[in-house]
Amino acid sequence: MFKTSKIEKAQFYLDKAFRISQNAAKAKKYNLNNKREKKKKNEIYKIGIFSRNLRNDLENIKEMFPDPNELENFYKELFEITINVEKLGKAFITFSWFNNKLIRLEQESLRNIHNAEHIDEIEKSKKIFYGRASSIMKKIQKHFTYLDEARRTLRNFPTIKTNMFTICICGFPNVGKSTLLSKLTTARPDIQAYAFTTKSLMVGYMDKIQLVDTPGTFKDILFKMNWIEKQSYLAIKYLGDYLIYVLDISESCGFNVKDQMELYKNLKKQFPKKKFLIYFSKNDIIDKNIIETFVKDNKFSKVFLESKDLKKYLKKIKKD
């Protein structure tokens, strides 16, 4: 979703800015015979390039990150619950402060170099400038570290169309959610053997309908949920026009029917305004009479045993 470049350590940007300034100075020619004046021109030129490049790099890092207030609700809340907005803001403020400080150091250094009467004074002013810039950058290293952590989190945000008719597929691990997604769409999910081990939501499409595999038990409050459950919960909350609840009453998934029904009721309670569809997976190993009795006992309204029937129904409700 968010394409961001790796944020390096502070020393990397110092070295880069210094290298660029040195290379630029080598190509610069001065038609001066006076060594002192030539030295002044050269150091002033290098300091200017160093300062400009370093400040630009810090500004570019800040611009990698979106303003959460400009994001769609799904991404806005995902941003706010997975990224420490306070630490992010503090890093940005520190970068702005550093850039202003660097400008002042540059101005002071250029003034001292301009007024220098001897070459050793020029050399001293130059060393003071680079030393102070380097010292301050190293003191704010923790902000580079955190911003790269935040960047990695952003890169794992799922790519979801927030303004598209969306169906969320819910249920316990191994009940057949991923298989159903692949039958309904062109998606080829990476089916995991363990609960909620995927890094991002699986998404598929059919006839302008977006289907999202949303794993999770949602027992904890949002902030305590794991990474994939947070994404699932918010996808259901903000994007789900319908929810397909996948039941495996054969219990071959490793979860008993009681627990599966408890999750279903929990979802109904948390999302009372959502419309639910029930899909029985693995029904080829269960007697149809058992399924019929189960449906009657639980008073399900919309039930599907075959993915092709479910697919037809989804196309119908999309048109309606």
Summarised one tens digit per residue, pLDDT across range 60-105 is 999 999 999 999 999 999 999 999 999 999 999 999 999 999 999 9
The conformation of residue 215, written as its DSSP 8-state character, comes to: -
Residue 160 in domain: no
Rounded Cα distance between 320 and 316, Å, is 6
- Which CATH number covers residue 49? 1.20.120.1190
Range of the domain at 61: 10-155
- Compare 244 and 35 and report the one with higher pLDDT: 244
The residues, ordered by sequence, that sit 6+ positions from 269 with a Cβ below 8 Å of its Cβ are none
What mean pLDDT comes out for the span 184-196?
Answer: 56
Output the average pLDDT for the chain: 91
Residue 50: pLDDT band (50, 70, 90) is very high
- Which CATH number covers residue 269? 3.40.50.300
Q: What is the pLDDT of residue 252?
A: 93
- 61 Cα distance to chain centroid: 15
Q: pTM of the prediction?
A: 0.84
Q: Are residues 120 and 171 in the same domain?
A: no
Q: Which two tokens stand for residue 105?
A: 């150091």
Q: What is the pLDDT of residue 192?
A: 40
Q: Which residue's entry shows tokens 């969320």? A: 168
Q: Which residue's entry shows tokens 């999302």? A: 271
Asked whether the predicted pLDDT for residue 197 surpasses 60, the reply is: no
Burial of 16 (C-beta count, 10 Å sphere; 0-12/13-18/19+): middle
Asked whether the predicted pLDDT for residue 298 surpasses 90, the reply is: yes
Summarised one tens digit per residue, pLDDT across range 207-227 is 899 999 998 888 878 878 888
